[in-house]
Amino acid sequence: MKDYLRNRKLLVFLAEGIVFILLYSIFFVLPTFNRIKVLKTAIPKKEQEVREMETLKTEYLSVKKEYSSDETLSKEGESIFSLVERIAKSKGLSENISSIKSVPSSVKEKEDSQEVSVEVKMKNFTMQNLVNYLFTLENSPYNLKIKEIQINSPKDSSYLEATFTASRWEKK
C-alpha cells in the first residue's frame, strides 16, 4: 500500500509538473515567440524610417543654414531700412530695389512701442527670387511682417515688378 501511495503521489506530482510546463508554454513561451516574429518584421521598417529621418534632417539643416546665414543677423538697433536692404543684398537682389521709403503706420501706437513700416519697390526679378526674399524677411529673427504686396508682370519682359510693405514693432 505504501508503494501504491508513493507511486500515486509521484504520478500526481508528475502530472502537476506537466500541467505547469504546458501552462507556462502557452502563456509565456508562445507569446514571446510571436513577439519576436513581429519584431523581426518591424525592425527593417523602422530602420528605413530612421534613414529617411536622417535624410530629412540633413535637408532641413541645409535649408535652415541658407535662410539664417550670418549675413542676415541684425546689428543692435539696426533700422528697418538697412535691414531690408541688407537681406536683399544677401539674396543678390539689392540692385533690383528701386526705392525704399517710410510709410506712416495705420496702427495706433502703444505707449512703449510703435509700428515702423517701409514700402519697397523692386524691378527685374523672378518669382523664385521674390519668394526667397520675402520668406527670409518674414522668417528672420527681427519680427518683420509683409503687410501688402502688389506684383506686376510687364508685357515686354519675363521679369516681375513688385511693391510691398514690410513692418515691425520697435521700442520708442
pLDDT tens-digit profile of 62-99? Answer: 877 765 543 434 445 678 888 899 999 988 998 999 99
Where exactly are the structural domains of the chain?
A: 1-67, 77-171
- 3-class SS at 74? coil
Name the architecture of domain 77-171.
2-Layer Sandwich (3.30)
Cell of 16: 502537476
Q: What is the pLDDT of residue 172?
A: 66
Rounded CA-CA distance 108/92 in Å is 35
- What pTM was estimated for this model as a whole? 0.54
Q: What is the pLDDT of residue 67?
A: 56
pLDDT tens for the 172 residues of the chain, in order: 777 778 888 888 999 999 999 999 888 988 999 999 999 999 999 999 999 999 999 988 887 776 554 343 444 567 888 889 999 998 899 899 999 999 887 676 677 778 889 999 999 999 999 999 999 888 877 778 998 999 998 888 788 999 999 998 877 6
CA dist 94 to 14, 40, 84, 108, 151, Å?
Answer: 92, 57, 9, 32, 18
Rounded CA-CA distance 108/169 in Å is 11
